[in-house]
């Protein structure tokens, strides 16, 4: 069963419309009742249903980002830098499948499928598609570097096969996805509580700030983008509707999935449940032992504070079915590792944890906390030293994490640019852990080997900063260095 992810309340038609599926065959007769891209995307609802289908390519029952990719980011136990030619190949497939679905809609709309609707309505539909396309390409360019940027105008790859020259330079890819996000920011609507999963102009601006910050760091190192990231993040913080929740205890509770700290997520509906809660739990909680946390990081790096004990599962019942069973530390458990607290009790109810059905977990893609951290990093780097506002916004995250305990030192203006930058990156690691974010920080800060020390940096070389392109596509467009 497929999931209605992006736009709750709308029916979903999952359309696996790869570009190759619409080759330039000329049919003299189209039987009545046959749907084509041109006659199917004739209403706004049909277009939005297909956009929801594009998200299904990324997040389906028991697949895609429901199973969080265990990148070697220094937080997952048992990861490896011994990349092979098939490492993480699924990510390439998922995102290009999603892009194909999106481009099919944009092509039909460009050819007039929504003619008769007001122009602002058409622009909004296009903006949704261009936002989602940029979202996909932003992931791809960070993981694979030079890639083809397929749009609704790209010739059919069946009749015009892709070649090595189809791979654009990284800066050109960023230029194109920025253009998509800028169009989205201009033409998407404001936040609408009735459709919390639907992208709006503030979400687009949030991703723009993240894109700008990434351009300012490796591999492009275009430092002038720090100021752009700072200003865009400030716009979202100052003028947008989102806010930081007062307590970390409330951010990941399944009963609070649609809270105002969550800007973008894989939203689901009750009819299409998420995998059961015990998927991420230790054996004592009748779990499947998915997502073990790196012991060294949890024990030696993550600061001891209330946030740690909510975001990580460190102490838990020795028998979830026995209310009187003693609580044990992870070091005493059968599995001998900590687990991800964000996806376990008390963020889940007992019934969600052990019921074997829908746990109600919604994977977060962009949070307001991230925007505060983007601002702090970008403002410090743009000014050459921490500013008061950068310090204040970073301390919003630290103060909430400490919850009055003072366990983690606050940021101050006495820190140098380098020291403050390191504190922001560390804070991103603590706050955004296990949200498919840390690995991208590792890549752009060029700390891949460092975070995998002391025990799983074997096999590291500079080529590990890019993933291998799947073999079939690599035959046509070329492979990344180190995987030939």
Which two three-digit tokens encode residue 158?
């069946």
Residue found by looking up tokens 């092979």 in the block: 84
Helix ranges (H only) for 153-275 are 170-187, 201-216, 225-239
Whole-number pLDDT of residue 14 = 27
**Helices (DSSP H) in 384-434: which residue ranges?**
388-402, 417-431
pLDDT of residue 41: 96
Is 33 exposed, middle or buried (CB count within 10 Å of its CB: 0-12, 13-18, 19+)?
A: exposed
Asked whether 185 and 205 are in contact (CB, 8 A), the reply is yes
Q: Which domains does the chain have, with CATH numbers?
A: 35-76+86-267 (1.25.40.390), 277-361 (no CATH)
Segment 273-319, tens digit of pLDDT: 677 888 899 999 999 988 899 999 999 999 999 999 999 999 999 99
What's the rounded Cα separation, in Å, for the pair 266 and 361? Answer: 9
> Is residue 396 within 8 Å of 244, Cβ to Cβ?
yes
Q: How far apart are CA 32 and CA 18, in angstroms?
A: 23
pLDDT at 269: 64
Q: Give pLDDT tens digits for 15-41.
A: 223 333 322 333 233 344 445 555 689
116 dihedral zone (left: phi>0; alpha: psi -120 to 50; beta): left
C-alpha span between 331 and 160 (Å, rounded): 57
What's the confidence (pLDDT) of residue 63?
81
Q: Which residue from 309, 307, 316 is spatially nearest to 335, judged by alpha carbons?
A: 316
Element (H or E) spanning 238, and its range?
Answer: helix 225-239
SS3 168: strand
* pLDDT at residue number 270: 61
Is the full-model pTM beyond 0.95?
Answer: no
The residue ranges of the chain whose pLDDT is under 70 are 1-39, 269-273
pLDDT of 419: 98
């Amino acid at each position: 069963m497929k999931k209605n992810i992006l736009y709750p309340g709308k029916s979903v038609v999952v359309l696996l419309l790869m570009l190759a599926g619409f080759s330039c065959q000329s049919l003299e007769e189209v039987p009545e009742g046959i749907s084509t891209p041109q006659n199917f995307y004739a209403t706004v609802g049909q277009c939005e249903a297909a956009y929801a289908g594009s998200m299904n390519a990324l997040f389906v029952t028991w697949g895609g980002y429901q199973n969080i990719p265990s990148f070697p980011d220094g937080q997952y136990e048992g990861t490896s830098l011994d990349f092979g030619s098939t490492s993480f190949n699924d990510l390439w497939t998922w995102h290009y499948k999603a892009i194909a679905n999106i481009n099919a809609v944009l092509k039909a709309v460009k050819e007039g499928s929504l003619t008769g609707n007001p122009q602002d309505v058409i622009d909004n539909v296009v903006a949704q598609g261009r936002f989602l396309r940029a979202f996909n390409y932003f992931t791809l360019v960070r993981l694979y570097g030079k890639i083809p940027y397929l749009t609704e105008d790209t010739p059919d790859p069946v009749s015009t096969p892709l070649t090595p020259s189809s791979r654009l330079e990284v800066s050109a890819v960023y230029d194109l996805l920025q253009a998509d996000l800028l169009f989205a920011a201009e033409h998407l609507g404001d936040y609408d509580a009735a459709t919390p999963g639907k992208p709006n102009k503030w979400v687009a601006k949030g991703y723009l700030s993240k894109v700008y910050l990434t351009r300012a760091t490796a591999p492009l190192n275009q430092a002038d983008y720090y100021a752009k990231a700072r200003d865009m993040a400030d716009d979202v913080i100052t003028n947008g509707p989102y806010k930081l929740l007062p307590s970390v205890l409330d951010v990941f509770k399944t009963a609070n999935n649609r809270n105002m700290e969550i800007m973008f997520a894989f939203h689901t509906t009750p009819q299409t449940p998420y995998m059961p809660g015990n998927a991420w739990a230790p054996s004592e909680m009748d779990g499947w032992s998915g997502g073990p946390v790196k012991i060294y990081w949890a024990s030696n790096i993550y600061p001891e504070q209330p946030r740690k004990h909510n975001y990580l599962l460190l102490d838990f019942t020795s028998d979830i079915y026995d209310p009187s069973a003693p609580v044990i530390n992870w070091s005493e458990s059968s599995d001998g590792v900590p687990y991800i607290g964000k996806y376990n009790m008390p963020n889940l109810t007992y019934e969600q944890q052990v019921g074997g059905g829908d746990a109600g977990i919604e994977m977060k893609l962009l949070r307001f906390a991230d925007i505060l951290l983007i601002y702090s990093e970008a403002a410090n780097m743009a000014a050459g030293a921490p500013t008061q506002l950068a310090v204040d916004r970073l301390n919003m995250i630290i103060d909430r994490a400490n919850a009055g305990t003072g366990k983690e030192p606050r940021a101050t203006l006495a820190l140098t640019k380098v020291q403050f930058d390191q504190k922001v990156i560390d804070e991103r690691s603590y706050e955004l852990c296990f949200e498919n974010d840390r690995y991208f920080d590792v890549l752009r800060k060029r700390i891949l080997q460092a975070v995998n020390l002391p025990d799983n940096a074997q096999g590291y070389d500079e080529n590990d900063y890019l993933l291998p392109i799947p073999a079939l596509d690599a035959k046509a467009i070329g492979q990344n260095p180190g995987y030939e």
